[in-house]
Structure 1
């Protein structure tokens, strides 16, 4: 159960990072 939960957290974080990068490129944001 714990490993399954951890997998979801890692998946969510990766998705979040990809989404942020996508919006940053789309809107022209620079860090």
Structure 2
């Protein structure tokens, strides 16, 4: 799952995928 978090973080940084950014937001909320 750690790898997933890193991948989502990278995707959010690049802002390439919108759904990925949403996923990152959800992960941050979980934290």
TM value normalised by structure 2: 0.47
Bigger radius of gyration among the two: 1
- With CA pairs under 8 Å and 6+ residues apart, which has the higher RCO, 1 or 2? 2
TM value normalised by structure 1: 0.47
